[in-house]
Structure 1
């Protein structure tokens, strides 16, 4: 009866999918309402962040969005991305506060409010920084009072941190600055500063620029210790307590530590302790169901294709630290294969994705008891958003061939691949470093080269 009931619900959902998607795919979880915090944050950083958010919304209401700069990281919303955005927004405002025309800047977290706690390490770091409960000090995607496509044309511009290019919905906004520790994708050639540098944490780049400019001011503005400690937390978790840090990460971390309330601590000891606490928090995911695991680190955007009939498709990636077998057994209601794909389909319908890729990773032991790190790639292609069934078949085949042909990955089909449905596939591989940064370019290149014209 329960399975029949689920089938009926899924059928009803499919029948109304187009109407639901029109409302939800651009603004997932937009039905959630903001509420007053149960506990208001203490300290200058929390007070500034809350008042800054209030002023932004007041100016939007009075049609003064053009006075504002939005500082934004990637849509995965990890601690590095969030801290980089908050740090640079704080610096832009405070470094110009004595100017004739001070800058108005606010950090935008490109995740819904209720998704922030899906990263327990973020919650811990924010709690340590004495921010308000419920993340009410922060401006999140679902709190934007206007659609990004139209707001992008109204605002003064955007600053990108921990991300090399803006999402499609922000591409009408001028790119004023970029800070990133990934590959330069060529966006924002006129941006100043425009910093691309290989370091463990993007926060290191933002903090360096902030301190360099701060120390050149006639009079330094107040730097709250809560923000300095948030910066150290982001660098710590991204560098494994400085274990994988570059010389630049270490140098910046020491400069920040010297200004913080932890100035008497040894840098290595403090960063190791921070990293351990944050890493332990990051692993605390056992209470999350599959839908939350799919969306906690979701990153996606529109990808251009050569096809005049289908010029763009929506592609999204999730990262999950559990095996497919464990997710099915412990993260779905019925503990069965069909349920994993039903939940995945409900999520991608909500965000309007044509192609989704779940990247799973887990540890196991071989026959000799030696630990092995295994990764899985789960590919699904939908037909109800932009492409019909024939096109979806062709696109699925194109992406599948690209993944299976990659000589570095050397993927193998999952042990239950024969049970999968149409346009579904799962592969395993043992390339420990082949996470999203490796897989995403392979999939994107295949989509960008895909060109099949099938009459609708």
Structure 2
């Protein structure tokens, strides 16, 4: 891969504009238990990320959480959310370092650390950016020293990237800014900047805003090549190397500006983005070793939804996106049978504290004549052991089932070929539309919000 081979493995000097204290740890290794060493990332971006994480935790311990802004993407934890959050946090810190009001900011990945390697493309991109193995440079949800509902009240604020509105657990936080490429849901109308624009990648919008503000500064801060190349990686995989139907002018123009500052500046943009997309997409598809539980939590998003019901004012929804058919997923269980799929699923949703679970499967069906067809499935289950009893669960299941089957989005659902084997409050449909989570989730949420 010629673009990646051109990567310059130089260790750049730390920026004098950095607002966070620089790490005094050795660049090549950290002293581990019993005198053993483990590798640590090299380069300015890894150093800054690690030092920022340390500074945040030190300040929290000292009761100074109010000095911090958390930049967070959505809880799916894909490369776009991760990169957008890291990019904007870096920009906030460095662009204000020499001002009268320097900002302390840190990126938060709204996924637990144990789930990060369930996205091999993220691991590859971070490795290419010379970050510390094991993601020790990054702050994840399970590393937050305090529950988000409590912490959110203490922070200076939060910034949402690749995320139109905060999860309920962050609802008490002051929303400083929003940058997103999804539908505007009306959150924080006074946020600044507040950007909603169609683009293949939210990282495109974040990077464009960063470069616009950077170029307006009296003196530009240092932009590490590792971060620039991570930005290009995120845009490449979301835009199919700038060739997919989702690609916009903003994706192309911003990629040109980022490339010009990167270690790949002398290379052709199309070649770089094609190489990145090929390499990262190959890694993204390398999930054959994952079992069903891994697939369920790999791309999991959920939140609490308010309802009019005085008995149950909130209901927990969870959505999984899985690139395998239901039949193939069953084969990934210990017993390779239908009952075991629901047993594994029940164990995961119990751990996640979910009332209603929706699994969105997409796959290609191959026929004997060599043709293939893109198909999708929706799996609906409702539990009765978290916030709701059996009668309420039956009511919710009926409500959501009817909302999906009678949707106004033109999604024609057909019962799965083994639907007659399903148990109470379980349903699986097949459909041929391109509808994914962006269309299915609002249908479910609106139904639940009207449940009484």
Scaled by the length of structure 2, the TM-score of the pair is 0.90
Shift of 1:365: 3.0
Distance 2:97 2:40 in 1: 25
- Matches of 2:445 and 2:374, distance apart in 1: 25
What residue is the counterpart of 1:376 in the other structure? Answer: 377
Distance in 2 separating the partners of 1:398 and 1:201? 34
Rounded to whole Å, the distance in 2 between the matches of 1:342 and 1:366 is: 31
- 1:449 Cα shift? 1.5
1:59 is paired with a residue whose SS is helix
Q: Matched residue pairs, number?
A: 415
Given the alignment, which residue of 319, 322, 325 partners 1:320?
322
Aligned to 1:348: 349
Q: Where in structure 2 are there 5+ consecutive unaligned residues?
A: 1-31
Equivalent residue, structure 1, for 2:282: 280
Q: How far apart are the structure 2 equivalents of 1:409 and 1:99?
A: 52
Partner of 1:338: 339
Distance in 2 (CA, whole Å) between partners of 1:125 and 1:173 is 31
Name the SS for the 1:439 alignment partner.
helix
Partner of 2:442: 441
- The aligned counterpart of 1:41 is 41
Query: What's 1:162 paired with?
Result: 162
Residue 311 of structure 1 is matched in structure 2 by 313
Q: Which residue is 2:123 aligned to?
A: 123
**Residue 24 of structure 1 aligns with which residue?**
none
TM-score normalized by the length of structure 1: 0.90
Could you tell me which residue of structure 1 aligns to residue 260 of structure 2? 258
**Over the residues paired in the alignment, what is the CA RMSD in angstroms?**
1.1
Q: Deviations over 1:425-450 (max 9, x none)?
A: 1000001x211111111111111112
Distance in 1 of aligned mates of 2:101 and 2:439: 44
Residue in 2 that maps onto 1:241? 241
Q: Say yes or no: does 1:206 pair with 2:197.
A: no
Separation of aligned partners in 2, 1:403 and 1:38: 50
Distance in 2 of aligned mates of 1:64 and 1:85: 22
- 1:175 equivalent in alignment to 2:166: no
- Could you tell me which residue of structure 2 aligns to residue 291 of structure 1? 293
Q: Secondary structure at the match of 2:429?
A: strand
Note the C-alpha offset of 1:366: 4.5
Q: What do residues 8-54 of structure 1 show as CA deviations (whole Å, max 9, x unaligned)? A: xxxxxxxxxxxxxxxxxxxxxxxxxxx88821000000000000000
Distance 1:369 1:395 in 2: 42
The Cα of 1:80 is off from its aligned counterpart by 0.3
Alignment partners' CA distance in 1, 2:62 and 2:231: 34
Q: What displacement does 1:368 show? A: 4.8
C-alpha offsets along residues 55-95 of structure 1, whole Å, 9 cap, x if unaligned? 00000000000000000000000000000000000000001
Distance in 1 between residues matched to 2:400 and 2:66, nearest whole Å: 41
Cα deviation, residue 173, structure 1: 0.5
Per the TM alignment, residue 367 of structure 1 is displaced from its structure 2 partner at its CA by 6.5
1:110 is aligned to 110
In structure 1, distance between residues paired with 2:368 and 2:344: 34
Q: In structure 2, how many angstroms separate the alpha carbons of the residues matched to 1:44 and 1:328? A: 45
After superposition, where does 1:398-417 map in structure 2 within 5 Å? 398-406=399-407, 408-417=410-419
**Residue aligning to 2:427:** 425
Unaligned runs of 5+ in 1: 1-34, 452-456
Name 2:364's counterpart in structure 1: 363
Cα deviation, residue 114, structure 1: 1.1
Residue 404 of structure 1, CA deviation: 1.2
Q: Alpha-carbon deviation of 1:370? A: 2.2
Instruction: Please give the alpha-carbon distance, in whole angstroms, between the structure 1 residues aligned to 2:450 and 2:275.
Output: 47
**Structure 1 partner of 2:22:** none
- Deviation digits for residues 321-353 of structure 1, max 9, x if unmatched? 001001101x10111111111111111111110
Query: Are 2:247 and 1:226 equivalent residues in the alignment?
Result: no
C-alpha offsets along residues 92-132 of structure 1, whole Å, 9 cap, x if unaligned? 00011112331000000000001010000000000000000
Match of 1:54, SS? helix
Q: Tell me the distance in 2 between the aligned counterparts of 1:404 and 1:366.
A: 27
Mapped partners of 2:278, 2:435: distance in 1: 24
Secondary structure at 1:387's aligned position in 2? coil
Counterpart in 1 of 2:392?
Answer: 391
Find the counterpart in structure 2 of residue 68 from structure 1.
68
Shift of 1:314: 0.2
Greater mean deviation of Cα atoms: 35-44 or 54-63: 35-44
Deviation digits for residues 282-304 of structure 1 (CA, Å, limit 9, x no counterpart) = 00001111111000110000111
- Provide, for residues 217-257 of structure 1, a one-character-per-residue CA deviation record: whole Å limited to 9, x for no partner: 11110000000000000000000000121011100000000
How many angstroms apart in 2 are the aligned matches of 1:311 and 1:341? 27
d(CA) in 1 for partners of 2:215 and 2:323?
42
Greater CA drift, 368-377 or 385-394: 368-377
Q: Distance in 2 between matches of 1:86 and 1:344?
A: 32
**Counterpart secondary structure, 2:108:** strand
